[in-house]
């Protein structure tokens, strides 16, 4: 009977866990719908803005009109912006982002030093033990993503780049595809020229970069006003992508956990019924044996 009691306790524990995972799956599904709507709205805008900036910057080519945010210099210090979540229970989502960051850092030349700029507590907690320098000013921004806070972060990092604190800045994030599939990417963020070169020929055909445009005000004035805004939008899009990926990963993980709990419940109930049947059979055998002894 003690064995039956242990099985009943385990069944009750698994049932409670399954109820929790079901609730977490529903909450994540609700949050995913909102996050997916936000990323779907910003993507076309961000891509269009990136292409416009690409056309504007393409005409500088090292001229005096080149802005500080587009200047390529010798890389000695790399700022690695790592976007992760603040919470766990989302499968391998955070570990895959951290692995992507570690692989990128390991491939850096020996004369380049990386500084981790975590946005999200999971990345900060992991690299706290790595010995790498960290900039912890922005680690809480994933708690509630707001464009104003993202723009302030982009401005601070831009000032650090122009001031020589970083010679290059990259953003490691998860691009949302669907709740099951995420792409873990390393996005060159500063200098801006490294990012927009690939998008120049994608607008208006192969000769769009050489098209003759009239600018009012001047190209330099437009670029000075547009570059900081473009950087903030790209960073904000990466954060929204990561947030949607997190909710999708958590929803998938909780769905799988619920299924596993159901399978475990079936096994435990089968084990319980077998043990109960064996106990009843034993009791009947004892009664019959006792009755036979009395009749004899």
Q: CA end-to-end span of the chain, whole Å?
A: 30
Indicate the SS3 state at residue 89. Answer: coil
The single residue of 35, 90, 101, 157 carrying the catalytic annotation is 90
If phi over 0 gives left and psi between -120 and 50 gives alpha, with beta otherwise, what is residue 284?
alpha
What radius of gyration, in Å, describes the C-alpha atoms of the chain?
29
Q: Give the span between the Cα atoms of 51 and 163, in whole angstroms.
A: 27
CB distance 263 to 18 below 8 Å: no
DSSP state of 120: S
Per-residue tokens: 245 = 């990926």
Q: Give the span between the Cα atoms of 114 and 77, in whole angstroms.
A: 6
* 90 flagged as catalytic: yes
| Strand pairing report for 168-176 and 182-190 | antiparallel
Active site residues: 90
């Amino acid at each position: 009977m003690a064995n039956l009691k242990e099985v009943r306790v385990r069944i009750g524990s698994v049932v409670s866990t399954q109820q929790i995972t079901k609730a977490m799956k529903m909450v994540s599904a609700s949050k995913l719908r909102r996050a997916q709507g936000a990323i779907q709205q910003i993507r076309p805008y961000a891509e269009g803005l990136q292409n416009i900036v690409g056309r504007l910057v393409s005409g500088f080519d090292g001229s005096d009109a080149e802005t500080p945010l587009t200047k390529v210099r010798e890389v000695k210090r790399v700022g690695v912006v790592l976007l992760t979540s603040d919470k766990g229970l989302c499968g391998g989502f955070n570990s895959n982002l951290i692995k992507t960051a570690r692989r990128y850092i390991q491939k850096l030349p020996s004369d380049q030093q990386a500084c981790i700029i975590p946005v999200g507590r999971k990345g900060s907690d992991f690299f706290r033990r790595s010995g790498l320098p960290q900039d912890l000013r922005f680690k809480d921004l994933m708690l509630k993503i707001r464009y104003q806070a993202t723009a302030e972060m982009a401005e601070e990092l831009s000032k650090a780049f122009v001031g020589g604190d970083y010679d290059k800045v990259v953003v490691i994030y998860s691009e949302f595809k669907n709740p099951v599939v995420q792409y873990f990417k390393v996005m060159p963020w500063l200098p801006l020229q490294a990012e927009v070169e690939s998008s120049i020929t994608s607008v208006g055909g192969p000769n769009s970069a050489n098209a003759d445009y009239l600018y009012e005000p001047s190209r330099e004035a437009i670029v000075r006003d547009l570059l900081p805004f473009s950087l903030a939008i790209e960073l904000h899009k990466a954060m929204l992508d990561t947030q949607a990926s997190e909710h999708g990963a958590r929803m998938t993980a909780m769905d799988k956990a619920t299924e596993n709990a159901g399978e475990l419940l079936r096994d435990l109930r089968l084990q319980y019924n077998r043990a109960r049947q064996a106990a009843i059979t034993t009791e009947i055998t004892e009664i019959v044996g006792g009755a036979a002894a009395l009749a004899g």
